[in-house]
Amino acid sequence: MIEFQPVRLEDRSVIERYTMPSDICNCDLAFANMYCWQEVYHSAWAEVDGFLVIRFQIDGGPRIGYMQPVGEGDFGPIIPLLREDAHAHGQRLRIIGLTDEGREMIRRMHPGQFAFESDRALEDYVYNAEDLRTLPGRRYQPKRNHINRFEAEYPDYHYEELTPDRSAECMALERIWRKTHEGLSSEQGHSSELCAEQRAMQRGFEHFEELGLRGGCIYVGNRLVAFTFGSAVNNHTFDTHMEKADTEYDGAFTIINKLFAQHLPERFTLINREEDLGLEGLRRAKLSYHPAFLQHKFTAIHLHPDELACKQLWQEAFGDDDDFVDSFLMRYYSRRRALTLVEEGRMVAMLHLLPFDTELGRTTYIYGVATAKSARHRGLASQLMQQAMTLIAERGDEAAFLIPTPGQAWLREFYGRFGFTGELPTTFVSEDGFDFGTGDTATDRAMIWQRDSSKPLPETLTATFRK
């Protein structure tokens, strides 16, 4: 089992021996981020066969994840060691923050064993530092105009280097900023994130120089109106950890961004401004600075045998690509929701019972009904459908629905034998917008089973996934 130890200040030199030469721009690899957010993620590190491995608690919860190992060459050979460590904690292996190259390395060295997914809300925005320093060309004209208005309205403004003795002022400004954002953040589930961010910021100020932090401030007269700080991810990428401004001073965010970039050492050719967390306003703001690229952060999970069997049968039956099937497995698949038939150690038939709410009440969606080519015409799908209808009736659902594969008219007669009828245009609603339909909304027409078959059917069906 790998011997991990908590991230401590004295570990910085060892950890940065791996991260500084790396080309990975992921903000999570900045030592200051690891240390300042320790209270939430409980990050720990180890050296394994020439690689730095970071283990942490995902979202501060009980599940553990591993960052992409950092070192020279292929990290594929140490994957079994990570699996053993995860299993020792009673969990499957989850690798978080994989680059495109890291994902392909795992696919190449451990083919078919992992599912992969990238969350757009967690991708880092990485900018050319020179663009942020100079705001060149027509596309940055709105930013330059914003700065010109700020300079005209506040001619007594000035830029200062952020030092730890300014921490009290910064914390006070952060409280003002937080107060204006608490309502929005609470509605979207980020109020606890703000508190954690405040604690991380305080920890940063307490160990500012030891963490290698750099920062800047904007004052209007004697009043602090904006501040920012960050640290190096690697030898050429700087990460902006914090940026706060008094929103009463229009343009304060724009000018602190530009002036801080100008005061960074020239060796930093890229600036990472971290993720947008899926917040629409934050996304618009980050896109308005025209990132050079988004740093993908793929998640990989090691597939259990039943998941691997599901994926193989799904792709044989439906021909969907890895990305689609992986998304289903990682977000919606569970053994509880699957009915399967196995022969000689091979899954030969399956379907999935997914919980939805519709105009009909509590409703089950029968999804992904598939039979292996070698096992067709033996009534296996009928066996599973009969089991499914018995379960749906026993748990008291008001209705069930399914969408027959377009172009296979015989399926309507097949499902009709189990009480399904109608052809309702269907819209799916889920937090992540997953496509539960056919891939073409024009052909998403559902057949319906109702406990009370005398009730009229609605003209359309809106199905909202129920967790």
Can you spell out the DSSP letters for 289-322? T--SEEE--EEEEEPPHHHHHHHHHHHHHH---H
* The CA-based dihedral angle spanning residues 8, 14, 20, 25, taken in that order and rounded to the nearest 10 degrees: -50
Characterize the bridge pairing of strands 399-402 and 346-358. unpaired
**Pair of tokens at residue 121:** 């809300």
pLDDT of residue 194: 60
Dist. CA 453–CA 448, nearest whole Å: 10
Asked whether this chain's domains 5-123 and 304-465 adopt the same fold, the reply is: yes
CATH fourth-level superfamily of 304-465: Gcn5-related N-acetyltransferase (GNAT) (3.40.630.30)
DSSP code string of 348-366? EEEEEEEEEEETTEEEEEE
Query: Is the torsion defined by CA of 174, 179, 180, 183 positive or negative?
Result: positive
Q: How many residues does the chain have?
A: 467
Pairwise CA distance, residues 91 & 80, whole Å: 14
Could you read off the pLDDT of 70-110 as tens digits, one per residue? 999 999 999 999 999 999 999 999 999 999 999 999 999 99
Q: For the residues of 240-285, what is the DSSP string, one character each?
A: EEEEEE-TTSTTHHHHHHHHHHHHS-TT--EEE----TT-HHHHHH
Looking at residue 185, its pLDDT comes to: 46
Model pTM score: 0.88
Is 1.10.10.10 the CATH number for 5-123?
Answer: no
Question: Do residues 95 and 82 lie in contact, with contact meaning Cβ atoms separated by under 8 Å?
Answer: yes
The burial class, CB within 10 Å (0-12 / 13-18 / 19+), for 431 is exposed
* Domain ranges for the chain: 5-123, 124-293, 304-465
| C-alpha 355 chain-centroid distance | 23
Cα-to-chain-centroid distance, residue 289? 22
Tell me the HSE value of 208 on the side-chain side, using a 13 A CA sphere.
Answer: 17
Residues in the chain predicted with pLDDT less than 70, given as ranges, are 181-194
Q: Is 412 exposed, middle or buried (0-12, 13-18, 19+ CB in 10 A)?
A: middle
Q: The CATH number of 124-293 is which of 3.40.630.30, 3.40.50.300, 3.90.1300.10, 3.40.605.10?
A: 3.40.630.30
How confident is the model at residue 337, as a pLDDT?
96
353: nearest Cα among 314, 392, 312: 392
